[in-house]
Amino acid sequence: MPDVKVTFLGTGAGNCILRAHTAIVLDCADGTRLLLDAASGNSALRHGAMLGIYAEDFEHVLLSHRHGDHMGGLPHIQGRRTQVAPDAAPLVIHSLEPSIEGVQRLFRATSITHQVDQDGVTTSEGNRVVNWNPVETGQWIQLGTEVRASAFAVNHIGGAVGWRVETGGISVVFSGDTRYSDNLVEASQGADLLIHEALSTEDDQEGTDRRGHSTAAEAGRAAALAGAGQLILTHIDTPFHRDTQPLIDEARREFGGPVSVADDLLQISVSRP
Ligand SMILES: [Zn+2]
Ligand SMILES: [Zn+2]
């Protein structure tokens, strides 16, 4: 039975000082490689290179939303990709329109030689290096012979989504940033792996909710109601960097399946049980 390899290039919350920002690589059995969020700065490039995963290997980015800790790395990924593989197919960035608009603003603000328009990004030599793919929630997009993905709305900022990826009978769901979301539960039904953010424990439920995020208990509840095969917590803030046990304990009170916390550079395989 084919596996999906999941690589966490960044697992830190926006203000975390000890982890890189969110970026996750899915390697599917048919050879398709997907990047879920792009971290900020050069984190995805740097951590990827440490594991032999390079910018030129990325073709599809499934973006959750337009916050800097999730999309700030995109111009650097494009820049490095264009530098080493100028004739490669354009990097395709899939997300909802408001998030695509945020990425367009970022490219316009940071790129002095590139043209940014409604279709994508083009170098001064006329090479198209990025294509936008604005998607609707619930729409399935085909990304490989045996890989498809669909975005679902979550509860964070306008245009924020999570992603469900299905390949070879295996389903992986990524929450992006979200408060507890019934919509996520619905979209995650039967997922083999749920990767859910958890900014804090219930001790700071109010502050976490105010910032648009979930507690570990809420992530556990979502995994339980979705009937997920396993739960991996990510988007970890500084107080929980070294001791993630309080997050795990809290999620386990809600969810009876396997619970763990991702660390930067963690690689796991998911297969059908
Ligand atoms: Zn975030
Ligand atoms: Zn966010």
pLDDT by residue (tens digit) across 121-178?
999 999 999 999 999 999 999 999 999 999 999 999 999 999 999 999 999 999 999 9
Q: What is the pLDDT of residue 1?
A: 52
Q: How many CA atoms lie within 13 A of 154 on its CB side?
A: 32
Question: How far does the chain reach from its first CA to its final CA, in angstroms?
Answer: 10
Q: What is the pLDDT of residue 112?
A: 85
Whether 2 shows a pLDDT value over 80: the answer reads: no
Strand 115-116's sheet: what is its strand order? Answer: 115-116, 120-122, 128-134, 91-95, 60-62, 33-36, 23-27, 4-10, 267-270
* H-state helical runs in 124-244: 182-187, 205-210, 216-226
pLDDT in tens, 97-133: 999 999 999 999 998 889 999 999 999 999 999 999 9
CA of 124 to the centre of ligand 2 (A): 32
Closest alpha carbon to 74 in 86, 88, 62, 85:
62
CA of 67 to the centre of ligand 1 (A): 7
pTM (two decimals): 0.98
CA of 235 to the centre of ligand 2 (A): 10
CA of 50 to the centre of ligand 1 (A): 23
CA 112 to chain CA centroid, nearest Å:
27
Tokens of 10: 């960044």
Which ligand has an atom closest to residue 199 CA?
A: 1
CA of 177 to the centre of ligand 2 (A): 5
Which ligand has an atom closest to residue 65 CA?
A: 2
CA of 197 to the centre of ligand 1 (A): 9
pLDDT in tens, 194-252: 999 999 999 999 999 999 999 999 999 999 999 999 999 999 999 999 999 999 999 99
> Which helix or strand (DSSP H or E) is residue 133 part of?
strand 128-134
Determine how β-strand 4-10 pairs with β-strand 23-27.
antiparallel
Determine how β-strand 60-62 pairs with β-strand 147-153.
unpaired
Q: What is the pLDDT of residue 141?
A: 98
Q: What is the pLDDT of residue 14?
A: 97
Tokens of 171: 């389903």
CA distance 189 to 187: 6
The identity of residue 10, as a single letter, is: G
Q: Residue for token digits 């976490």? A: 208
CA of 233 to the centre of ligand 1 (A): 13
In the chain, the domains with their CATH numbers are 4-270 (3.60.15.10)
pLDDT in tens, 36-86: 999 999 999 999 999 999 999 999 999 999 999 999 999 999 999 999 999
CA of 126 to the centre of ligand 2 (A): 33
Backbone angles phi, psi at 117, to 5 degrees: -135, -170
Whether 273 shows a pLDDT value over 90: the answer reads: no
Tokens of 144: 């490989």
Which ligand has an atom closest to residue 99 CA?
A: 2
CB atoms within 10 A of CB 142: 10
Q: What is the pLDDT of residue 272?
A: 79
What number of helices (H) and strands (E) belong to the chain?
8, 16
Which ligand has an atom closest to residue 178 CA?
A: 2
Q: What is the pLDDT of residue 194?
A: 98
Q: Are 101 and 108 in contact (CB under 8 A)?
A: no
Residue 132 bridge partners (DSSP):
93
Q: What is the pLDDT of residue 111?
A: 85
Q: How many CA atoms lie within 13 A of 98 on its CB side?
A: 12
CA of 232 to the centre of ligand 1 (A): 16
CA of 59 to the centre of ligand 1 (A): 22
236-265: b or e for each residue (b if 16 or more CB lie within 10 Å)? bbeebbeebeebbebbbebbeeebbbbebe
Determine how β-strand 267-270 pairs with β-strand 4-10.
antiparallel
Which ligand has an atom closest to residue 161 CA?
A: 2
Which ligand has an atom closest to residue 102 CA?
A: 2
Which ligand has an atom closest to residue 157 CA?
A: 2
Which ligand has an atom closest to residue 15 CA?
A: 1
CA of 211 to the centre of ligand 2 (A): 9
CA of 70 to the centre of ligand 1 (A): 6
